[in-house]
Amino acid sequence: MHLLSAESAHRRLRPRPLHRLMRRRSLHGPLSDGSGGKKKIGGPLMTSLRTCVKATLPPNPLPPFYCCPPAPASEPINFTLPDPAEPLRVRRPMHAVGAEHMARYERAITLMRALPHSDPRSLYQLANVHCAYCTGSYRQTGDPELNVQIHFSWFFFPFHRAYLYFFERIAARLLGEPGFALPFWGWDVPEGMRMPAEFSNSSSPLYDPVRNPAHAPPTLVDLDFAHVENNLTDEQQVQQNLRIMYKQMIGNAALPSLFYGQPFRAGQSDRPGPGTVELTPHNTMHTWTGDLTFHNVEDMGTYYSAGRDPLFYPQHSNIDRLWEAWRDVGAARGYRGHVDFTDSDWLDSSFLFYDEEARLVRITVRDVLDIDKLRYRFDGVGMPWVDARPPPTPNVNRNKGSSSLKSVRFPLSLDAAVTVEVRRPRVLRSRREKEVREEVLVVEGIESDGTEMVKFDVYVNAMDYEKVEPSGRELAGSYLCLSHPSMDGTGKGMRTETSMRVALNELLEDLGADGDESVTVTLVPRHGKVNIAGLKIVYMME
């Protein structure tokens, strides 16, 4: 294999801007086929460079301001799996991979930065891939008035896996090392709960000055972070992180749609609802890393700029590893819900990336489900959070019952903590029924203006919620959304609307509330302004 020169890669691309075939239109109007009827919603989601447009970013963004990739000389080719004879890439944790391997990653970043911005393999363009798929630059091929946003839906894991696959192969080609593997930042295990020292060295190509300086090593990561520092000891922080990981990987992740996120089909509005790991720890780690002195918490703390930080790629390598870990835990412990979707709308949806030869490639979700076939694997850490099931907090649910609750009317602006009694449609379910159906609390119509990070916590049966630790059993889940840098024609933030789901089967058993006719749900705002449309309990089977 020969290294493709920057000049030859550039010649293969047409040095012209993308042709825009449509004007920016309202994203919230009814879908019409021209005959007065509504369009059919359904089918795989597709994107095209022809419908990639310049996103309108918030005030004072950091350049660049145009995230669509360079136009290709020909139509995209379909992805083909690598040759089984290729070297197997072994991704190992940064805290154990060694200085020599980290030096290779530094060299890869240096080579990517040295390429012309017009080269799709440059770090400039690779960072823009995330920007284009996360800010509304891409529109749906069949419905160009509708955005494509790969977060807050079932595309979160497969998109980022494909993204890293091409990033890793480009790095290997530039280095001239076919077996080069991207390391991962193992912040879910105690040994990896610090930012690696290489990233805090201002003379290293891995350094990014737009990070939170308070979180340089030896500070431990906080998987519940939201703009406020805690005063935990290192031992307490490790325990909290492990318990949060248990909740997000096991307790709240009993079904594919709870772990991956909600279905997002062609013709449908984006952001139907995120999965557990996307909210926490993915979003919290982005916020923990970004620079809070910037309104948008750049670089890592907002979607358009996150890919500019070299820490982004090891961070998402760990997210990719957690996908495999969720499957492995399910297989080892007999959790029947830890399986992939079989829906063709998911499997056949596709994304566009440039490969190591500067060819535009269309890759489907189906293509990335088996990492053995993609010729890489993970090694070097365990899963200590598997047995970190949080214990209930004593004496936090006194005076439970509707008689002690104030009347609450939805929709509401979550300006202060509110507690609501939510009736359970079914009580005293059999063990068999619980194995088949998960009881789920749905927080509906979560709406914000998208211009700032938003976080609120959801407590179950915790009238005295202030006594519950962030890793406490009664803290059923946390909603955390990074700022969505998308503005409308008036300069105001485009309102974002989504939903959140919290699994209740295991939680109610642990709280001794499985036979209760209702639960109390407390919503506690932590940062930003958000509206909530309502709460309900449903029973899901997948």
Residues placed in the known binding site: 130, 151, 160, 282, 286, 316
Known binding-site residues for Cu cation equal: 130, 151, 160, 282, 286, 316
Helix axes 123-134, 156-175, angle to 10 degrees: 170
What type of residue is 157? Answer: F
Question: Which distant-in-sequence residues (6+ apart) come within 8 Å of 537 by Cβ?
Answer: 422, 423, 424, 425, 439, 440, 441, 442, 504, 519
Helix axes 156-175, 99-114, angle to 10 degrees: 90
* Separation between Cα atoms, residue 16 and residue 70, nearest integer Å: 8
Q: To 5 degrees, how large is the angle CA 464–CA 465–CA 470?
A: 150
Q: Which residues of 500-537 are buried (b: 16+ CB within 10 A; e: fewer)?
A: bbbbbbbbbebbebbeeebbbbbbbbbebebbbeebeb
**CB atoms near residue 385 (< 10 Å):** 21
**CB atoms near residue 6 (< 10 Å):** 18
State the distance between the two ends of the chain, measured CA to CA, in whole angstroms: 45
* Separation between Cα atoms, residue 95 and residue 92, nearest integer Å: 9
Is the separation of the CB atoms in 500 and 477 below 8 Å? yes
